[in-house]
Amino acid sequence: MFLGCGCLLAMAAGMVPRLVLLMAWIWSPRWDLMFANTSWIWGLLGFIFLPYTLIMYILVWSPGGVGGWDWLWIGMGVALDLMKWGVIGNSRKGIPGYPDSMP
């Protein structure tokens, strides 16, 4: 009965940062201000590959730019994203038939 709960929890954990970004895009005027002078592709790439970093960037951004201790928070976002990708890569090794999987 509860066999699929682990998969649902993992899927929800992967979707939460993207839902936060989607809500920020819809309801926050900061999104348009941040990416007014750059290409929309940076926001899309952040949404797909580095959602925690983009969330931190949204939180620390000001019209004068990012500077000082704000980079610490962005670095924490990068660390979270790298840990997430590392866990994903390590989890794939447990799949039977996947290259480099454990016997």
Average pLDDT, the chain: 82
Query: How do residues 42-68 score in pLDDT, each as one tens digit?
Result: 888 889 999 999 999 999 988 888 889
- Write down the pTM of the prediction: 0.77
- Residue 40 lies inside a defined structural domain of this protein: yes
Domains in the chain, number: 1
3-state secondary structure of 13: helix
Contact predicate 38/54, CB 8 Å: no
Domain for residue 14, yes or no?
Answer: no
Written as one string, the DSSP assignment of 31-98 is HHHHTSSS-HHHHHHHHHH-HHHHHHHHHH--TT---TTHHHHHHHHHHHHHHHHHHHHHHHTTSTTS
Which structural domain, as residue segments, surrounds residue 31? 20-91
Tell whether 53 is covered by a domain: yes
Q: Is residue 101 in a domain?
A: no
Q: Is residue 61 part of a domain?
A: yes
7, part of any domain? no
